[in-house]
Amino acid sequence: MNIVALDQLWVYLSGHPLVSLLATLVAFIAASWLNRKMGGTPLLHPVILSIVLLIGFLLLAGIDYPTYFEGAQFIHFLLGPATVALAIPLYDHLERVRAMLVPILLACCAGIVTAVGSTIGLAALMGAAPETLLSLAPRSVTSPIAMGIAEQVGGIPSLAAGLVLLTGSVGCALGPWILRLMRITDPSVQGFTMGLAAHGFGTAHCFASIGAMAGAFAGLAMALTGLLTAFLLPLMTTLSGL
Amino acid sequence: MPLIVGMSLLLGCQFIGELLARGLAVPVPGPVLGMLVLLLALMIHGRVPTALRHSGEGLLRYLTLLFVPAGVGMMVHAQLIMADLWVIGVTLVVSTALTLAVTAKVMSWLNQRRLRRGTGT
C-alpha cells in the first residue's frame, strides 16, 4: 500500500470546501464555549471570537479568502432565507405592533436617521475613505440586509458585514449602561432600543438578560429597522450627494 | 418533511422577492422584499404553518453563526480598516451611543404620552 505524503495530502485537502465548512462550525462551537467560560461577556461575543479564530487559522494554514468562501458559502447562503424568516416574529407580535404603531414608527425613524446621519457625519468629518464611509452607513442594520444595502449604495458588502458585527458588540456593551443612565425601565422600550441599535446581537442580549418581552420588541425593532433603512438609506445618501 | 416544506416556503418567498427587486428595479435587497411577501402571506393566511415555524425559528436561532463567513471577509479589507482604524472606532462607539440614547428617549416619551391620553384610544 502506498502512503501519500502528509504535505501532499494537506495541499489537496486545504483547497477542499469541506475544510472551511468544518473549520467554521468548529470555530463557532469553540468560541461559544470560550464565551460561556468567560461569563458571557458581550465584549467577547462568540461571533467576533469565531471570526478572529478563523482568520488566524486561515493565515496559519495559508488558505486565502476566496478558497475559504467556496466552502463557507453554504452557511452564508442561509442568510437569505433567514432574512425572510424575520417575518415570523414580526407576525407573532402584530397585535402589539398595531397598538403601539405610532411610537414604534417614529422612534424607528428617529433612530435610523440618528444612526445613519451621525455615522456618515462623523466618518466624513474625520476623513474616512469613501468606500469605508458607505460600508459604515448601514452598520446598525442586521447583516444580511446591511450587505444588500452596502452593495446598492456602493460600499463593500463584506466590510459592511464586519462593521455590523462590531456595532452589535459595541451596542451590547454600551446599551445596558446608557439605558440605566437614562432611567429607562420599560422592557418594551429597552428591547426596542437594543434591537434598533444592535440588531441580532441586541436581540440575543435582550432574550438572555432582560426578558421575553424585551426580546420580542428587540426582534421587531431589528426587522423594522432593516426594512425601513433599506428604503431610507439609498435616499439619504443620494440627498447628501455621496 | 416539515423541514423541507418550511425551507421551500422561505426560499419561495425569497425568490419572489428577488424577482420583484430585479423586475421593478427597486433599491431594496431581494430577501427584504421576500420578508414582506411572507408577512403579507401570513396576514392573509391568519396563522404561521407549523412547518414554516420549525425551519424559520431554527434558522433564526443560529442567526449569529450565519454572519461568520461574511465577517471573515474583513481579512481581505485589513488595509482599508487599518488606514481608517481611529475613524471607524470612534464612529462606531459615538454613533452607537447616540442611536441608543435618541431611540430610547423618543420611544419612552411617545409611549408615556400615549398612556397619559388614556387607555381608551
Q: What is the pTM of this model?
A: 0.78
Q: Which three cell numbers stand for residue A87?
A: 417575518
Higher-scoring residue by pLDDT: B26, A73: A73
Alpha-carbon A153 to chain mean position? 18
Query: CA A134 to CA B9: how far, in whole Å?
Result: 33
Does the predicted interface ipTM exceed a cut of 0.90?
no
Compute the nearest-CA separation of B19 from chain A (Å): 14
Compute the nearest-CA separation of A236 from chain B (Å): 13
In this predicted structure, what is the pLDDT of residue A7? 75
Place of cell 477542499: A16
Q: pLDDT digits over B91-112, tens only?
A: 889 999 999 999 999 998 988 8
CB pairs under 8 A between A and B: 308
Rama region for B49: left / alpha / beta (φ>0; ψ in -120 to 50; rest):
beta
Compute the nearest-CA separation of B82 from chain A (Å): 11
Compute the nearest-CA separation of B88 from chain A (Å): 7
Question: Residue B65 CB: number of other CB atoms within 10 A?
Answer: 22
DSSP code per residue over B16-54: HHHHHHHHHT-SS-HHHHHHHHHHHHHHHH-S--HHHHH
- Put simply, whether A60 touches B (Cβ < 8 Å) is no
User: What confidence category does residue B118 fall into, taking pLDDT thresholds of 50, 70 and 90?
Assistant: low
Query: Which amino acid would we find at residue B3?
Result: L
- Give Cβ neighbours of residue A232 (< 8 Å, ≥ 6 apart): A109, A112, A113, A116
Most confident stretch, A63-77, A85-99, A126-140: A63-77
**B53·A68 Cβ contact <8 A:** no
Interface of A with B in 110-149 (CB under 8 A): 110-111, 114-115, 118-119, 122-123, 126-129, 131-132, 136, 139-140, 142-145, 147-149
- Minimum Cα–Cα distance from A109: chain B residue: B103
Q: pLDDT digits over B28-40, tens only?
A: 778 878 988 999 9
Query: CA A110 to CA A113: how far, in whole Å?
Result: 5
In chain A, which ranges are continuous DSSP H helix? 6-14, 17-37, 46-61, 65-77, 79-85, 87-92, 94-99, 101-125, 130-136, 143-153, 157-181, 187-209, 212-239
